[in-house]
Structure 1
Amino acid sequence: MKKIEAIIRKSKYSKVKAALHEVGVNFFSYWDVTGQGNEKEGHVYRGINYSTTDIQRRFLCIVVNDDFEEITIKTIIDAAQTGEIGDGKIFVSDIKEAYRIRTGDSGGDTLN
């Protein structure tokens, strides 16, 4: 099993969520995060200059069986990519085990 963590633009979340559902990734966790990145431009809104050094993003945490790793990553990239600085990052790590609390089952079948 793999844990895929993605930091994406908030504006791309709906598109990424729909794309993940299309390929069969129906369960994941997400939350809003603030981070530091390479974006150095300020934005002006109604004559006030706002710094973009603190960047608002959405953090997705997805655990999939090994055979869904590549399609999940490709789906996130295709849906979230704008080609501009600040599109985000994806991190992949191994998951040793998973358990379903309700039944006590373990292994990859707990993800279904």
Structure 2
Amino acid sequence: MKMIIATIKPFKLEEVREALTSIGVSGLMVTEIKGFGAQAGHTEIYRGAEYEVNFVPKVRLDLVVPSSLADQVVDTITQTARTGKIGDGKIFVLDVAQAVRVRTGETNHDAL
């Protein structure tokens, strides 16, 4: 099993969710986050005063999928979330040693 952690722009969330559902992903967790990378923030003017925004809003997706589906999930997120502009996000893929569904006690692939 693989855990995929992706950070994407918030307005791409629904489009990415629909694309993942269409390839057979049955669930994911979403967290609103703030961060910075190459874009390193920007300045905004609010009520006449200029403010430096050092952290940019992003959405973090966490999902665990069978190893056989991981490459397809990464490709789907990459293609769907891409705008071609700085700050499109990052994807990390990690090995998962064990998964347990709390309600039923099912483990590993059955828990997904």
TM-score by length of 2: 0.88
Which residues of 2 match residues 82-93 of structure 1 at below 5 A?
82-93=83-94
Distance 1:82 1:48, change over 3 A: farther
RMSD between aligned residues: 1.7
Structure 2 segments unaligned to the other structure (5+ residues): none
Question: Runs of 5+ in structure 1 lacking a partner?
Answer: none
- Percent identity, aligned pairs only? 37
Paired positions, count = 111
1:33-72 alignment runs, 5 A limit? 33-40=33-40, 41-43=42-44, 49-72=50-73
Paired with 2:81 and 2:49, the residues of 1 have a C-alpha distance of 29
In structure 2, C-alpha distance between the alignment counterparts of 1:88 and 1:4, rounded to whole Å? 13
Q: Secondary structure at the match of 1:39?
A: coil
Superimposed CA distance per residue, residues 50-81 of structure 1 (whole angstroms, 9 cap, x where no aligned partner): 53421000000000010110110011001100
Paired with 2:48 and 2:19, the residues of 1 have a C-alpha distance of 37
| Structure-1-length-normalised TM-score | 0.88
Q: Is the 8 A contact 1:39 1:52 kept in 2?
A: no
